[in-house]
Amino acid sequence: MRLTDRQLHEYERDGFLFLPEYFSADEVALLRAELPTVFGIDSPALIRETGSGVVRGVHGVHESNPVFAALVRQARMVEPARQLLDDDVYVHQFKINAKLALIGDVWEWHQDFRFWHEEDGMPEPRALTFGLFLDEVDEFNGPLMLVPGSHHGELAEVSRQPGAEGWASTLTSSLKYQVRAETLARTIGDGSIVAPKGPAGSVLLFHSKILHGSAPNMSPRNRTIVLTTYNSVSNALADVPEPRPEFLASRRPVPLVSRTADDLAPV
């Protein structure tokens, strides 16, 4: 349940860790079985693709769905989060990105902390995200792309997209805060982009400041990922004039008690 020194070093250096088949096929099946339910309930927390109107993702269902409630308490996620953040943690944001076959659209390059800092009042980038693959991720279904090491240093400059107002503009294919092309080019430099791929059950754990994005899903296979963001309890959100809905940014920094029993039985 704890990361090794080598993994800690790798995370510090690169800003991410890839953990192949971190969850079993049976666990994945259990989680996937909940998708029709959570994607089927229309609410403001359900985001649709521009144009096609099909599901792009859903937020905050760890509060209502017992299987996802059990997931976010898994010691396999909570304990490494506590270890990396050196503090108790709570779920700041939970979402399931559908990225459906041939439909799921681009996520432009961004840093999560830009949104959480400016929109939600998160003081420091002491948060991280577990991205759990519910489908196999390959080069064609829109894998998450990252710039290794980009969590170091200052936040990348952004252009504020004209007309982007309200929280909905923080969730669409044309993001409210757009990293400038020249900034991205400078950050990547002669370095690389990486896109970890692997079977369903694999986990991509990444820093709240790492530059990341993803291409559209060009394949006939879904690329559904469950993204659980843990924040340090001592890094709870400050007051902001217009807070986003609770399903996008929790204002209840109650330390999570991890489930030592390593199963996904409903909480």
Task: Give contact residues for a second copy (rule: CB under 8 A).
Answer: 101-103, 106, 109, 139-140, 142, 145, 181, 184-185, 188, 193, 195, 213-216, 218-220
| Distance of alpha carbon 64 from alpha carbon 43, whole angstroms | 13
**What is the CB-side half-sphere exposure of residue 84 using CA atoms within 13 A?**
33
Smallest gap from Cβ 151 to a second copy, in A, equals 18
Helices 75-85 and 5-14: crossing angle in degrees, nearest 10, is: 70
Q: Which is nearer to a second copy, 61 or 184 (CB)?
A: 184
Are the beta carbons of 111 and 208 closer than 8 angstroms? yes
Q: Which residue has the tokens 């890094």?
A: 235
Q: What is the DSSP string of 36-73?
A: HHHHHS-STTEEE-TTT--EEEEE-GGGT-HHHHHHHT
Measured from the CB of residue 75, what is the shortest distance to a second copy in angstroms? 35
Nearer to a second copy, 109 or 247 (CB): 109
The nearest distance, CB 181 to a second copy, in angstroms, is: 4
Q: How far apart are CA 216 and CA 107, in angstroms?
A: 8
For residue 187, the minimal CB distance to a second copy (Å) is 9
Buried b (16+ CB within 10 A) or exposed e, 238-264: eeeeeebeebbbbeebeebebbeeeeb
Q: Which two tokens stand for residue 167?
A: 């929280």
* Cβ-based nearer residue to a second copy, 215 or 226: 215
Q: Which is nearer to a second copy, 82 or 197 (CB)?
A: 197
CB of 233 to a second copy, least distance (A): 35
Pick 181 or 261: Cβ nearer a second copy: 181
- CB of 53 or CB of 241, closer to a second copy: 53
Minimal distance, residue 86 CB to a second copy, in Å: 33
What residue type is 43 in one-letter code?
S
In the complex, the smallest distance separating the C-beta of residue 209 from a second copy, rounded to whole angstroms, is 19
Q: Which residues contact 240 (CB under 8 A, 6 or more apart)?
A: 119, 120, 121
Q: For residues 32 and 221, which CB has a smaller minimum distance to a second copy in the complex?
A: 221
| SS3 label, residue 190 | coil
Which alpha helices (H) appear in 174-218, and where do they start and end? 181-188
User: What is the spatial distance between Cα 240 and Cα 137, in angstroms, rounded to a whole number?
Assistant: 37
